Structure 1
């Protein structure tokens, strides 16, 4: 029975996930995965509908960008060139 996934394999994988993520984070992870799958399915169905009709669905207008407060100007510091270093070879 090589290569087959038994119920015990699934139980072990579930226990490992529970150990890594903890019982508090598991519902949030499952909820997030469910949302992602719903979004993915809706995008795929939208693409299939566009391919059938041969026209693109109207795109939503871009969201207005939030304007951030202006930062204080930064004063430039003068650039100082590094001084050459004399490295002498030790005499043997």
Structure 2
């Protein structure tokens, strides 16, 4: 983890702006909403799967 911190340094506002500009250049303005929607759906599915696993573990422990 320490080596990753040395590689990335402290991520601040200028670095986030550079990352946003690079993403905008790579994907274009029209693709970004679709990309964000896909990421949101993926996060939603991950949370649902996590809840299902927790429920299964609770049932097994009873």
TM-score bracket for the superposition, by shorter chain length: 0.7 to 0.9
TM-score of the two chains, using structure 1 as the length reference: 0.56
Q: May I ask how many residue pairs the two structures share in their alignment?
A: 54
Is residue 6 from structure 1 mapped to residue 15 from structure 2 by the alignment? Answer: no
* Residue 53 of structure 1, CA deviation: 1.1
Bigger radius of gyration: 1
How does 1:18-29 map onto structure 2 within 5 Å? Answer: 18-29=24-35
Tell me which of the two structures has the higher relative contact order, counting C-alpha pairs closer than 8 angstroms and 6 or more residues apart: 2
Unaligned ranges ≥5, structure 1: 56-92
TM-score of the two chains, using structure 2 as the length reference: 0.81
Cα root mean square deviation, aligned: 1.4
Choose between structure 1 and 2: higher helix proportion.
2
